[in-house]
Amino acid sequence: MWKYSKLLPNYNKQDIVSLGEGNTPLIKSRYIGKELGVPNLYFKLENLNPSGSYKDRFASAFITALKSKGKDICIATSSGNTGAALSAYSAAAGINCVLAIVDGAPEGKIKQMQLYGAHTYMINGFGKDPQVTGDVFKMLSEHAAKIQVPLPISAYCYCPEGMIGVQTISYEIIEQTNFAVNHIFSPSGGGGLTLAVAKGVVAYTENNQPNTKKPKVHCVQPEGNDTIASSLRNGINAVAIPYATTNVSGLQVPSILDGNEVIEVCTQLGGNGYVVSDTDIFAFHQLLAQKEGVFCEPAGAVALAGLASAVRKKEIKNTDTVVCLVTGSGFKDMHSVERNFGLPDIEKIDGSLLEERIIALDKN
Query: Containing domain of residue 34, as a range?
Result: 12-53+163-340
> What average pLDDT does the segment 236-258 reach?
91
pTM: 0.92
Mean predicted confidence (pLDDT) in 249-257? 87
Same domain, yes or no: 111 and 253: no
Q: How confident is the model at residue 309 (pLDDT cuts 50, 70, 90)?
A: very high
Same domain, 25 and 91: no
Task: Kindly state whether residues 142 and 264 are assigned to the same domain.
Answer: no
Return the pLDDT at 68: 93
Residue 300 above 90 pLDDT?
Answer: yes
Question: What pLDDT is recorded for position 258?
Answer: 97
Residues 337-350 have a mean pLDDT of 79
CATH of the domain at 249: 3.40.50.1100
pLDDT of residue 225: 96
Radius of gyration (C-alpha) of the chain in whole angstroms: 20
pLDDT of residue 195: 98
Residue 67 clears pLDDT 70, i.e. is over it = yes
In the predicted model, what is the mean pLDDT of residues 132-148? 87
CA–CA separation, 362 vs 357, rounded Å?
9
**Considering the domain boundaries, does residue 350 fall inside one?**
no
Q: How many domains does the chain have?
A: 2
Q: Which of 155, 148, 169 is nearest to 65 (CA)?
A: 148
188-209 average pLDDT score: 96
pLDDT at 343 over 90: no
Q: Are residues 210 and 63 in the same domain?
A: no
Beta strands in the chain (DSSP E): 26-28, 41-45, 73-78, 96-101, 119-122, 183-187, 216-222, 273-276, 322-326
- Regarding whether 121 and 93 lie in a shared domain, the answer is yes
Q: Are residues 45 and 121 in the same domain?
A: no
Cα separations (Å) of 63 from 15, 66, 75, 184? 9, 5, 11, 28
92-119 confidence digits (pLDDT tens): 999 999 998 888 887 878 888 999 999 9
Q: Using CA atoms of 185, 191, 197, 199 in order, give the dihedral in degrees to the nearest 10.
A: 140
Residue 361 counted as domain residue: no
pLDDT at 364: 60
pLDDT at 21 over 80: yes
Q: What percent of the chain has pLDDT over 90?
A: 71
Are 136 and 74 part of one and the same domain? yes
State the chain's mean pLDDT as an integer: 93
Give the mean model confidence (pLDDT) for residues 83-94. 96
Residue type, 296: C
Average pLDDT over residues 275-303: 96
Distance from C-alpha of 74 to C-alpha of 161, rounded to nearest angstrom: 13
- Whether 234 and 272 have beta carbons less than 8 Å apart is answered as no
Instruction: Provide the CB-side half-sphere exposure for 135 (13 A, CA).
Output: 9
Domain co-membership, 170 together with 151: no
104 and 193 co-located in one domain: no
In this structure, is residue 364 part of a structural domain? no
- The reply to whether 177 and 322 lie within a common domain is yes
Q: Do 60 and 150 fall within a single domain? A: yes
**How far apart, in whole angstroms, are the C-alpha atoms of residue 50 and residue 29?**
23
Among 127, 162, 197, give the residue marking a domain's end. 162
